Structure 1
Amino acid sequence: MSSHQDYLRAFSSHAQTLSRLNGKQRDPSSLIQEILECWSCSEEPLERGICESEVSWERAVTDFLTWLQTLDHENAAYWLGCLYAHLLPAEQRKHQAVYFTPPLLTEPVLWRIRNMAPKVLLGHIVDPACGGAAFLVPVLEVVLRLPALKAMSPEARMSHVEKHIHGADIDPHLIEITRRLLDRSMAKDIRVTGQFPQWDLRVEDGLNAFDDLNGKVDLVVSNPPYRKLIRTEIETLADQRLRSLCAGQFNLYGLFMGRALDLLRPGGHAGLVTPMSYLSGKTFSHLRSRLIAEAAVTDLALVHQKGGVFYGAEQDAVLTILHKGAKQGQARISAISKDGKSLSLGAVKIEDQDMPWVLPRRSEDLAVLQESSRWHLSLKDYGYSIRVGNLVNYRDPRPRHVERPPDKADIVPLLWDSHVRAGALRWTPIGTKERPSWVEVANGAQGVICRPAVLIQRVSSPEQSKRLVCAALSGAFIKEHRGFIAENHVIVLEAIDPKITPERLAQLLNHPTVDRLFSMRASSTNVSIYELQYLRLPDVSALTGFIGAAEVL
């Protein structure tokens, strides 16, 4: 059986060839429509060469259609949508966020829904961002396999899906593709009845569509568009409930998650594929609060591998299952690899406020959660304040120097992220042109820190074994230099009323258990001040035994 990666390699080859036809003889929508016309000419499955006498096909189109015929309907629908997205102008694809959900992600969503609440599959099902039918086709296939649907006559079955399957998208071409792909799922009944279903597919923004179904929907499934919203988009949102979700630079997908809550009836379910950022990012704090207040998060399946899952996008993802109106209990956590394999990571309690959620990312994290279950202190409790380095290199006008000029009195050390190593500060009085060691502060002491501190690298990468890379800056350093300035890629934990020394705190933060605990709360590879504020730490009285229990890197 071919894997998603096998399909990806084959599709990439076809897409590169077909992209050379784009704009010469057919635009993306007309090319896809011609492929669909040819596809719909045949019986199931498609027979090679069908329609070749009716249309003058380029070899590349014929080859792609031949490959498409070898796939099951869910995969064929997905890769056909990907072809349309691939052929769009890059700017249009980015603005509309035209990226589709592969079957390796729709299948686990629907498997969970089918096992938890099979009755919702007989009710109203909505995808408010249905373009390409990457979710609606798998949903319809599942619905058609239900015993209740099998027992219906072709006419009754067609009537049922017309009334209960709903979709919306702003792109009329994607709506037409969706219509044709749904028709193909109903091909047998179409041949028997001689009629096509009158699908409820709306060329409309999914955030505004289906007011007639508010509070009546049994199941919402969606892979909503992902892109950051600009201020005017937020200010012009007509729906006050959606606008109240927004904080900072909000992402469009968060609005679709809020819309799913409004569409669902009490007891209804949602299966959503989104980025992981909503799990802990500060801008999603209002969304997390609303999800917990109005539904139970029953399942979270994490997809950490950014490459090789979504065609044309490097994106982590999480599969979220919501149960509208249910009381929040423990959520089942799992991890899905890019070949579709699922690993159970146990069940955890979801935070009942707007704070970031702490979730295991791998099997050994369960032991970390157990070990830290009684930790309740924060960096603030330890007597440290958190701030980002004040100097932004490309726009700060203050003069910098590789070495300390002998005639400059108002000058302090400049600390960069490259100076911060786990357990040691690597600053030297002689820097480089790219990383000067000194900065003048003659025109004001803005950003100068005059207390001992712990420094943390603010930017990390997925390849790093640790997220928290920390070094202490001692009182002796402050006494010698009268203070320092940190560059913007450094986080400073300033000792305001310290309960432990910076050296001790750096040792604690560099501990593997603390590092993993932070990683389970973090939404990106960068170290966030917001997430550091919620990092749980042990009681000060327990530090001696804890830090001595494992090697400190």
Structure 2
Amino acid sequence: MNKSVSPNVEKRQFARQIRQIARFVSEGEYDVKDVVGTLVVIWSKRQAPGLSCSGFRYLRSLARSKEIQSFVEWLCCRDFLEAAYWLSSAYSIWTGQEYRKKLAMFFTPPSLTRRLLDDLEQFGASFLKHSFFDPACGGAAFLAPIALRMKSELKAKGKSDEHILRHVEQHLFGTDLDPVLCQMSNQFLRIALADEIVQARIEPNFHVTKANSLSDVASLYGSFDVLVCNPPYRKMAAEEVAVYREDYDTVIEAQPNLYGLFMTLGLRLLRPTGVAAFVTPTSFLSGQYFSKLRTHLMENAEIVNIGIVRDRSGVFIDVDQETALTILKRRAPKYATETTANVSVVSRHGDLTSVGRCVIPNSGSAWPIPRTEGDAELIQLIGKSKYRLSDYGYRPRTGVFVWNRDKRPTFHSWKEAKAASAVAPFPLFWSSDIRPGGVVAFDGAPKSNFEPCFVDVLTNSSVSILRRPSVLLQRVTSNDQQLRLVAGVVPTEVFRRFGGFIGENHVVALESQADIPAFSPEVLVAVLGSQPVDRYFRCISGATNVSIFELQLLPLPDPKRLCALLKIGLAINEAVIQAYR
């Protein structure tokens, strides 16, 4: 992609192109295999005129449509790897939301592929000598550029066209669940090596196979020098967990994510000292239910490098999340209390900025990973603190009211609740009630966004009622916001007048464990919104959710020292940083 073109502009252009073609499938006029097959055949002939393209379903009536011709022209304005990426992405979207979600078909943009392959080469991978495997190879996002690099280096050594083809056959392997993606990957490899195929007059047999890598490749354990993978990301259903538990019990906890199993599989497929590269969400760095995975990785691999891709919206189509590019080197199992890793920040174009080395603990707790230059020093300072939220006298609780499931009566005002003779009406707080300046807005009157502000919990003894001084946090925030910990103090009037409140599911309440808190909610809000705490939380939070697990682990400054510093007039940021020292 041209760096001068915004990724969002590129996505919009792509969306317009495929939306025009999608109606062929949605109206039942053609099958998705007809559409993608016709596109692959036409585009392949434009990319590599001397290359055959067999096995795909090609329909002349489709080929003549202006929508197909327009998309082919759009693809041909991009380089080969970019076009292959967009074509694979189009196929995944046309298969339908349910199927796409089940297989988690989201492909790696060429800029990140290039970055990861450069990193692999830096850490010892050889395109001349080593074998490569991708256990989720749909779209050939890694296979095709690896083949191009193999070709380039072999040509520089003066190797023949036949030698190049045989080398790729013997050193490059991939599996995927979707047969069409396997077929497309094979064709993309043929286009990458089209000149060699034509000149040598050899039809290569590339090893791209339909398989469930999590269960079907055990015979290949310990076989490869390098593993590259953008694994599928989604939470696993209970029946799936049951199928894989025996083989992956060392990393499964609660409701695991598929990509955690693929990271475990990746290490098993490597030879001793082999190197693996993964494109994944950053959630494994800090998520509560990735604790066993973090321990497994530390005990079975050297964490060589972690690259954080900060541009959430410019990476994957229809996915808005922070991404990690992780390099691991397999080693013999060994327990370590901690290790260190190189950390870098990566742009959507693949440009890299090193932010230094960081210490990674092997305690199951979150890995604090620097996001910007200067974070490593801050992590080292704050990480030494022994004080946590419990030392401030507060306990986090997730709001229990789920608006689309909870059947208890709700009301838009106190007047409405009383008119309905509600049994036990309590104020209901939403994320939107937390306002700038650290306050929670509430007056018992109807809200402009029409959210109900009271719920009848049906009994005054309900355990869901929060009755003590509290701070509310928005439970979903992003690194794009000014603060990750967006907090506000629940007005004392709420407790005096109503005796407590209920939290909606998108808020976290930090409830005082004493009727009169030793540490005031107002100061706690200021601490959570301070620059040092905000920066550290960004380094341990790999998802948009503000989790109770992360809040409980968050190191806070010495509360007594902090209060003393605030009393002598220090500003909150300076007081917090000094109280950490």
Into which bin does the TM-score normalised by the smaller protein fall?
A: 0.7 to 0.9
Shift of 1:482: 4.5
Q: Deviations over 1:338-374 (max 9, x none)?
A: 3443333332222222212222223354464355243
5+ residue gaps, structure 1: 48-53
Distance 1:330 1:78 in 2: 34
- Single out whichever of 128-137 and 293-302 deviates more from structure 2: 293-302
Amino acid in structure 1 at the alignment position of 2:103: Q
Shift of 1:335: 2.6
Shift of 1:224: 1.4
Distance 2:530 2:195 in 1: 62
Shift of 1:471: 3.4
Show the counterpart of 2:550: 531
Distance 1:78 1:430 in 2: 52
Distance 1:446 1:329 in 2: 42
- Single out whichever of 529-538 and 480-489 deviates more from structure 2: 480-489
Q: Deviations over 1:308-348 (max 9, x none)?
A: 32234444322111111288743222233334433333322
Contact kept in structure 1, 2:250 and 2:296, CA below 8 Å:
no
Distance 1:191 1:508, change over 3 A: same
Shift of 1:434: 3.5
Q: Secondary structure of 1:207's match?
A: helix
Distance 1:470 1:512 in 2: 14
State the percentage of identical aligned residues.
33
Show the counterpart of 2:209: 202
Show the counterpart of 2:466: 449
Shift of 1:477: 6.7
Q: Deviations over 1:36-58 (max 9, x none)?
A: 444555785889xxxxxx96732
- Single out whichever of 151-160 and 76-85 deviates more from structure 2: 151-160
Amino acid in structure 1 at the alignment position of 2:278: L
Matched, 1:230 2:249: no
Distance 1:372 1:134 in 2: 39
Contact kept in structure 2, 1:128 and 1:209, CA below 8 Å:
no
Distance 1:275 1:172 in 2: 25
Q: Secondary structure of 1:92's match?
A: helix
Q: Secondary structure of 1:346's match?
A: strand
- Show the 5 A alignment for 1:512-531: 512-531=531-550
Q: Secondary structure of 1:318's match?
A: strand
Q: Secondary structure of 1:146's match?
A: helix
Contact kept in structure 1, 2:424 and 2:458, CA below 8 Å:
yes
- Show the 5 A alignment for 1:350-389: 350-363=360-373, 365-366=375-376, 368-369=378-379, 371-389=381-399
- Single out whichever of 358-367 and 92-101 deviates more from structure 2: 358-367
- Show the 5 A alignment for 1:61-210: 61-119=68-126, 122-147=129-154, 150-210=157-217
Distance 1:516 1:178 in 2: 42
Distance 1:412 1:60 in 2: 57
Shift of 1:255: 1.6
Show the counterpart of 2:20: 17
Contact kept in structure 2, 1:127 and 1:168, CA below 8 Å:
yes
Contact kept in structure 2, 1:269 and 1:324, CA below 8 Å:
yes
How many residues in Structure 1 have an aligned counterpart in Structure 2?
546
Distance 1:17 1:74 in 2: 23
Show the counterpart of 1:51: none
Distance 1:121 1:312, change over 3 A: farther
Q: Deviations over 1:365-403 (max 9, x none)?
A: 446435524323111233322212344455152676615
- Show the 5 A alignment for 1:38-57: 38-41=42-45, 57=63
The partner residue of 1:345 within 355, 360, 363 is: 355
Distance 1:210 1:442, change over 3 A: closer
Show the counterpart of 1:428: 443
Distance 1:485 1:146 in 2: 64
Q: Secondary structure of 1:161's match?
A: helix
After TM superposition, the score normalised by the length of structure 2 is 0.83
Q: Secondary structure of 1:119's match?
A: coil
Q: Secondary structure of 2:215's match?
A: coil
Distance 1:131 1:420 in 2: 43
Q: Secondary structure of 2:184's match?
A: helix
Q: CA RMSD in A?
A: 3.5
